[in-house]
Chains A and B, each alone.
Chain A
Amino acid sequence: MEDKIIIRVGAKTLIPFIMVFALYVQFHGDYGPGGGFQAGVIFAAGFILYGLIFGVDMAKKVLPLSVAWLFGSAGVLIFAGVGVVTLLLGGDFLDYSVLAHDPEHGQHWGILLVELGVLTTVFGVMISIFYSFAGRRGLGT
């Protein structure tokens, strides 16, 4: 699809907005609809759009498969790590109130970190599944 100029220019214009919107969904999840899962999927969708238009090989130059795996595993580690940290700080597992002096702030921090973990995992997983489907033959190459 590399020779279709309208698609290329259109996608190049759209992708940054999709990614910024994903970040908005992520960090605005406390106030409006959205959260880590949705943000991760939207971020991955922006990246997959890039892979569709410019080919999986180009996409892999931007973000190699091994990095996507790293993301996918790191998210679970972040999530469980927050739980371990709360244990070490004397609370229950995943009880964020102990993360800061004020329980409410602790909850804020905990939710922020946990959603970050979800975002990372979902993004990495979606990207690596896309690679392993599309990289086999045909599509985008």
Chain B
Amino acid sequence: MLVLTALALLKLNNLFAVAMLAGIYSLLSAALFTVMDAVDVAFTEAAVGAGISTVLMLGCIALVGQTSKQPPKPAFLPLFVVFVTGGMLVYGTLDIPPYGDPDNPVHHHVADYYLEDSSHDIGIPNVVTSVLASYRGYDTMGETTVIFAAMVGVLLLLVQSPRRRGSYKDSSLKSSYHNSSDNHSMHSTSEDDSYPGDN
């Protein structure tokens, strides 16, 4: 199913259908994660992959139009590179210990400690939560900061105040000056949002 959806994704030209199929792909992978008992990951995948990112893609489609350009002729060098890389990856998996074997090293590094001691260290039944929030608190804080950085990046790229667009044609020297003053004006102007055709 996953492979079929991926192939259809490649073949289709209609971007609306592509966005929908990408959502279906996410939902299928969420089902796969559930089957593999990774419920937390499945949760995230269903909500982010199938939900919000589909909406964001629809938002993009509303901006760029529904059909993609005809793709250029198939290039064979990238295909070759993909096959070689894939082959090397498959070759690499030959050394990996068998899947699902309880004696695998990954299950005995720190996992034993977490499973046995987290209930009286932390007192929370869900080990995933205690690992994420307490044992690995630094990591989660880094993650949160990354999400915050993503927001800052998207806002810097996408939210333009009308003033900056007006000064677009000015010399680029001025724009660095405008940047600092724009940060204040963005707050007030972006609420009654700016449309590209407005001025």
Contact = CB atoms under 8 A, between A and B. Distances in A.
Nearest to B190: A65
B59 A73 contact: no
Given A33-B39, A72-B151, A135-B193, A94 B59 contact: no
A138 B64 CA distance: 10
Contacts of A36: 133
Interface stretch (B82-90, B93-101, B123-131): B123-131
A124 B132 CA distance: 21
Given A108-B124, A130-B52, A132-B158, A137 B47 contact: no
Interface residues of A, number: 61
Main secondary structure of the interface of B (DSSP, over half): helix
A64 B191 CA distance: 6
A96 B134 contact: yes
A75 B144 contact: yes
Contacts of B143: 37, 118
Main secondary structure of the interface of A (DSSP, over half): helix
A136 interface: yes
Given A38-B44, A45-B52, A107-B123, A117 B148 contact: no
Contacts of A31: 124-126
B48 A32 contact: no
Contacts of A115: 129, 133
Interface residues of B, number: 50
Given A34-B40, A35-B40, A107-B134, A137 B121 contact: no
Which of A75, A94, A124 has most B Cβ within 10 Å?
A: A94
A48 B140 contact: no
A33 B124 contact: no
Interface string B146-182: 0110110011001100000000000000000000000
Contacts of A121: 144, 147-148
B102 interface: no
B52 A126 contact: yes
Interface string B97-133: 0000000000000000000000011111110111011
Contacts of A2: none
Contact of A52 (B44, B47, B55): B55
Contacts of A25: 43
Nearest to A35: B129
Interface of B: 39-40, 43-44, 47-48, 51-52, 55-56, 58-60, 62-63, 120-126, 128-130, 132-134, 137-138, 140-141, 143-145, 147-148, 150-151, 154-155, 158-159, 187, 190-191, 193, 195-197
16 contacts: A31-B124, A38-B44, A38-B47, A66-B190, A73-B148, A96-B137, A105-B123, A118-B143, A118-B144, A121-B147, A129-B56, A129-B150, A129-B151, A132-B154, A133-B56, A134-B59
4 interchain residue pairs of minimum CB distance: A138-B62, A94-B137, A133-B59, A33-B39
